[in-house]
Amino acid sequence: MVPAIDGIGMTSRRTRMRLIQRLREAGIRDEQVLAALEEVPRHIFLDEALAHRAYEDTALPIGYGQTLSQPYIVARMTELLMAHKPERVLELGTGSGYQTAILARLCDMVFSVERIKALQDRARERLQLLKTRNVMLRLADGGMGWPERAPFDGIIVTAAPKVLPDELLAQLADGGVLVAPVGETQQMLVTVTREGDSFHTREIEPVRFVPLLGGVVR
Ligand code: SAH
């Protein structure tokens, strides 16, 4: 069951503000990103048994062996993406829908792909609860992006591919940015920016994500 938005009562807003303060101290500077993290209730994206831990700066399980990333990583990736002011964004790995909800506050349109139907169903329910309208969800193996909806000004990948597929980079608009964890045991968060036909990769910091997998789980 999805916990109610105000289910944790008064403590939730206060603990949320404490989390924002921690993110500031950790180096997150984009005030719009911080405001989005303050506004979107992370606890509704978790099972009731874990909801009380929603405002700790830690990754938490969402079932099916998947995890909702640590708020610091969500903020960092969103900040890297928003530096390019993208309007149309592709997200690979909807998962709980939390990152999707953050993006929906900051961009015109979010296209999000998930391969596990049960997670997508729950994410949809939560996004509806928040009255999010500018999100389009797709059940598919998103490893190769969403070519029918390309190009995207921003692409954010929330599961780690071993290498970035060229098909995905090709869906980036000119001037756009891709933010993704890449690698197997050693993973690196990277950004790839496109200028015409050239792509510039920048390594940001080591990270740990679940792997990007193939196939759809219905
Ligand atoms: N952004 C999510 C993080 C979820 S974890 C959140 O905020 O909760 C990564 C997610 O990527 C998982 O839900 C997993 O099922 C999904 N995933 C992994 N490989 C995928 C693929 N090839 N296509 C689409 N989704 C994928």
Domains with residue ranges and CATH for the chain: 64-207 (3.40.50.150)
Burial of 59 (0-12, 13-18, 19+ CB in 10 A): middle
Asked whether the beta carbons of 180 and 211 are under 8 A apart, the reply is no
Residue 7 pLDDT grade (very low, low, confident, very high; cuts 50, 70, 90): low
CA distance 143 to 141: 6
Residue 13 pLDDT grade (very low, low, confident, very high; cuts 50, 70, 90): confident
Which one of the listed residues 69, 96, 112, 198 is annotated catalytic? Answer: 69
pTM: 0.95
Question: What's at 71, amino acid-wise?
Answer: P
pLDDT at 114 over 70: yes
Whole-number Å distance, alpha carbon 143 to ligand 1 midpoint, is 10
> What residue's CA is closest to ligand 1, atom 12?
95
CA 96 to ligand 1: nearest atom: 8
Q: What is the pLDDT of residues 61-96, one digit of tens each?
A: 999 999 999 999 999 999 999 999 999 999 999 999
The confidence score (pLDDT) of residue 14 equals 84
Tokens of 164: 């970035």
State the DSSP code for 160.
B
Give yes or no: 69 in active site.
Answer: yes
Q: Can you say how many angstroms the Cα of residue 148 is from the centroid of all Cα atoms in its chain?
A: 21
Question: Average pLDDT of 180-199?
Answer: 97
Per the rule left: phi > 0, alpha: psi between -120 and 50, beta: everything else, 63 is left
φ and ψ at residue 137, rounded to 5 degrees: -100, 145
CA 113 to ligand 1: nearest atom: 24
Mutate to test the pocket of ligand 1, among 69, 141, 213 (most ligand atoms within 8 A of CB): 213
CA 141 to ligand 1: nearest atom: 23
